[in-house]
Amino acid sequence: MLVLKIMGFISVLGFLYWVITTLNNKVIKKFNHDFLDSGNFIIAFISNLFIYFGHMWYVEAITKSGDVLNGILIMGIGGLGLLLLITLNIKMTNFLVGLTGSLIQITLFGIASFFAFFVIFIVIAFFANARPVYNINN
The pLDDT of residue 96 is: 92
**In this structure, are residues 113 and 44 in contact, taking their beta carbons and an 8 Å threshold?**
yes
The pLDDT of residue 131 is: 73
Per-residue pLDDT band at 46 (split at 50, 70, 90): very high
Q: What integer is the mean pLDDT of 50-79?
A: 93
The pLDDT of residue 83 is: 95
How many DSSP H helices and E strands does the chain contain? 4, 0
Residue 70 CA: distances (Å) to CA of 55, 80, 89, 96: 10, 15, 29, 34
Give the pTM. Answer: 0.77
Biggest CA-to-CA distance, the chain: 72
CA neighbor of 83 nearest in space, from 102, 110, 66, 59: 102
More confident residue, 24 or 74: 74
Average pLDDT, the chain: 89
The pLDDT of residue 138 is: 65
Write out the H or E segment, with its range, that includes residue 57.
Answer: helix 38-63
